Amino acid sequence: MKKILLLLALPILAQAQKIDKIITRSETERIETYLASDELAGRKPFTPGIEKAAQFISNEFEKAGLQKTNGSYLQTFYMVKSKLNNFTATIDGKELDAKQVAFFTVEPTISMDEKSGYEVATFQKGESFVPKIYKLMATSKPTIVFLDESFARYIPALAKNGPLNPTQKNVIFILSNTIPTTYKVTANHQVDKLQLSNVVGILPGKSRPNEYVIFSGHYDHLGIGKPVQGDSIYNGANDDAAGTTAVMMLAKYYAKKRDNERTLIFAAFTAEESGGHGSVYFSKQFNPDQVMAMFNLEMIGTESKWGKNSAYITGYEKSSMGEILKKNLVGSQFTFYPDPYLDQNLFYRSDNATLAELGVPAHTISTSKMDSEPNYHKASDEVQTLDLDNMTEIIKAIAKSATSIISGQDTPSRVDTTKLK
Ligand SMILES: [Zn+2]
């Protein structure tokens, strides 16, 4: 009996030694320290800092031996930034000012009136703003929207909209309690095409190459802001250099192991903080039905509310993925918990949501104490505030927890999209 037990125990021990050699504290520190360094200036989209970060991640993927797509690790796409130069707008002969009008447009010139064939939409007093605004952004026809004056405070925010998709149809917002009989709008915008890149590397599966497992984190952050005690760089060490570091470490680990039956996709997303544009573009590059699981990693650099060797999974009950991960960690010191901050809607606030909305079992793993994390979205989110030993253990635990999904032995249940918000 003893001998058999020894034989059984040996491969587990061998694997444990190997993971400890590949996922090390010194590697965690090297990668994390560079991503969160002042040199990258807070990794804000459309700045040289984020380009440097993308280059660094590409180099690490190359060193690990991941495959490229279309000859590059950079998955590049474009967005459009429009700046209003001047406009005129009249409704029923009355001229409007800048406090009453806003535009979503990617066109340099707009000239329209009530005969131009625009869809007409309204915001009635008391309507809830956010869901409808997203629907309007996704409109397939040019639209003019008349907002009740109770929405006046939203006009400046609408006017300051972030970069738009190049396929965005014109949406013109006018403050008016009623739909006017006649209206006429002209506008000139300065329109600039802006480049964004996700960084994506692939490790093809041995026997199930068409079944994908995604490991992701967002590598963008907030850039440079108002100085706090002389520090103006929002380094985003925890948010989300930590998750991005984990993605690179896991890439290295699985590339060395080379026993994945399913195809592994490692993705560092851009522009999460400014609307999730990176994951949206990424999600359109393949058939979501082929994605068996998505491990999105966000803010794993500090201790969770339960202390070391623990993390939580957002949207825990939305698929069986959490149970599978837990099962694979039985006997280890590590515990996954369901997200304890349900009122914060974390499931919907990171890049996993984009894929979950397509039915993919896509969850975010995090340790961030969302009710009390002192450095969240502050200039003080620096490497020195992270527990790199614990973070290294978390990365190892994620690797172990994914074992049976990567081997094809377990397949998490799909997310029921009819039950999502
Ligand atoms: Zn984040």
Distance 181 CA to ligand 1 centre (A): 46
Distance 220 CA to ligand 1 centre (A): 8
Distance 238 CA to ligand 1 centre (A): 8
Give the model's pLDDT for residue 4. 47
Closest CA to 365 of 241, 255, 216, 158: 216
Residue 414 phi, psi (nearest 5): -75, 155
- Rounded to a whole number, what is the distance in angstroms from the first to the last CA of the chain? 55
Distance 9 CA to ligand 1 centre (A): 39
Cis peptide before 240 (omega within 30 of 0): yes
The residue written with tokens 């400014």 in the block is: 274
Give the model's pLDDT for residue 12. 52
Distance 308 CA to ligand 1 centre (A): 21
Query: What is the DSSP secondary-structure string of 23-43?
Result: S-HHHHHHHHHHHTSGGGTT-
- How far apart (Å, rounded) are the C-alpha atoms in residues 256 and 266? 14
Distance 43 CA to ligand 1 centre (A): 12
Residue 82 phi, psi (nearest 5): -115, 135
pLDDT tens sequence for the chain (421 residues): 445 444 455 555 556 668 999 999 999 999 999 999 999 999 999 999 999 999 999 999 999 999 999 999 999 999 999 999 999 999 999 999 999 999 999 999 999 999 999 999 999 999 988 778 878 888 999 999 999 999 999 999 899 877 888 989 999 999 999 999 999 999 999 999 999 999 999 999 999 999 999 999 999 999 999 888 889 999 999 999 999 999 999 999 999 999 999 999 999 999 988 888 999 999 999 999 999 999 999 999 999 999 999 999 999 999 999 999 999 999 999 999 999 999 999 999 899 999 999 999 999 999 999 999 999 999 999 999 999 999 999 999 999 999 999 999 999 999 999 999 8
Give the model's pLDDT for residue 15. 62
Distance 369 CA to ligand 1 centre (A): 13
Distance 195 CA to ligand 1 centre (A): 21
Distance 218 CA to ligand 1 centre (A): 7
Mean pLDDT value across the chain: 93
Distance 380 CA to ligand 1 centre (A): 15
Closest CA to 338 of 291, 305, 387: 305
Distance 132 CA to ligand 1 centre (A): 24
Dihedral sign for Cα atoms in the order 389, 232, 45, 314: positive
Distance 23 CA to ligand 1 centre (A): 22
Give the model's pLDDT for residue 290. 98
- How far apart (Å, rounded) are the C-alpha atoms in residues 221 and 240? 7
- How far apart (Å, rounded) are the C-alpha atoms in residues 43 and 35? 8
Task: Tell me how far the alpha carbon of residue 271 is from its chain's centroid.
Answer: 7
Q: Are 210 and 269 in contact (CB under 8 A)?
A: no
Q: Give the tens place of pLDDT for each residue, 369-414.
A: 999 999 999 999 999 999 999 999 999 999 999 999 999 999 999 9
Distance 299 CA to ligand 1 centre (A): 7
Q: Are 262 and 211 in contact (CB under 8 A)?
A: yes
Give the model's pLDDT for residue 165. 87
Give the model's pLDDT for residue 317. 97
Closest CA to 39 of 26, 29, 52, 27: 52
User: What number of CA atoms fall less than 13 Å from residue 323's CA on the CB side?
Assistant: 8
Distance 264 CA to ligand 1 centre (A): 22
Distance 167 CA to ligand 1 centre (A): 26
Regarding pTM above 0.75, the answer is: yes
Distance 197 CA to ligand 1 centre (A): 17
Distance 87 CA to ligand 1 centre (A): 37
- Residues near 166 by beta carbon (within 8 Å), at least 6 away in sequence: 78, 79, 80, 106, 193
The tokens describing 19, both together, are: 């993971």
Distance 350 CA to ligand 1 centre (A): 7
